[in-house]
A and B are shown apart, each in its own frame.
Chain A
Amino acid sequence: MAKIITVYGPLLFRAMGQTLLLALCGLFFACILGLIFGLMSVLKSRVCNVIAAVFVDVIRGVPMIVLAYFIYFGIPYFMNNILGSRGFTLTALQAGSACLALNCGAYMAEIIRAGIQSVDKGQMEAARSLGLPYWRAMLRVVMPQAIRTMIPSIINQFIITLKDTSILSVIGFPELVNTAKNVVSITYMSFQTWGIVAVMYLTVITILSRVAKILERRLNRGRE
Chain B
Amino acid sequence: MAANKEKRKLSASPAVTAPEAKRNMVNKEKVKIHVSHLKKSFGKLEVLKDISNDIYEGEVVVIIGPSGSGKSTFLRCLNRLEDITGGEVVVDGVDITGKKVNINRFRENIGMVFQHFNLFPHMDVLRNITLAPVDLKKMSKEEAQKKGMELLERVGLAEKAKVYPPQLSGGQKQRVAIARALAMNPDIMLFDEPTSALDPEMVGEVLQVMKELAGMGMTMLVVTHEIGFAREVASRVIFMDDGYIVEEGTPDEIFNHPKEPRTIDFLNKVL
Interface residues of A (CB under 8 A from B): 120, 122-123, 125-133, 136, 140-141, 144-145, 148, 222-224
Contacts and interface: CB of A to CB of B under 8 A. Distances in A.
A130 B105 contact: no
Contact of B122 (A128, A131, A132, A223): A223
A76 to B, nearest CB: 47
Contact of A125 (B106, B114, B122, B181): B114
B104 A133 contact: yes
A131 B132 contact: yes
Interface string B198-238: 00000000000000000000000000000000000000000
B166 to A, nearest CB: 5
Interface string B106-140: 11101110101011111000000001100110000
B61 interface: no
A107 to B, nearest CB: 25
A141 B120 contact: yes
A116 B166 CA distance: 20
B184 interface: yes
B22 interface: no
A131 B136 contact: yes
A140 B130 CA distance: 12
Interface of B is mostly: mixed
B118 A126 contact: yes
A129 B122 contact: no
Given A130-B183, A140-B131, A148-B122, 16 more contacts: A122-B118, A127-B120, A127-B132, A128-B104, A131-B104, A131-B106, A131-B132, A132-B132, A140-B135, A141-B120, A145-B121, A145-B122, A222-B164, A223-B121, A223-B122, A223-B164
A120 B118 contact: yes
Given A125-B114, A222-B164, A224-B164, A130 B120 contact: no
B81 A125 contact: yes
B79 interface: yes
A198 to B, nearest CB: 41
Nearest to A144: B122
A224 B167 CA distance: 8
B122 A122 contact: no
A127 B121 CA distance: 12
B135 A129 contact: no
B121 A128 contact: no
A130 B111 CA distance: 7
Interface in B15-46: none
B101 to A, nearest CB: 13
B180 interface: yes
B107 A131 contact: yes
Contact of B81 (A128, A131, A132, A222): A128
A120 B122 CA distance: 13
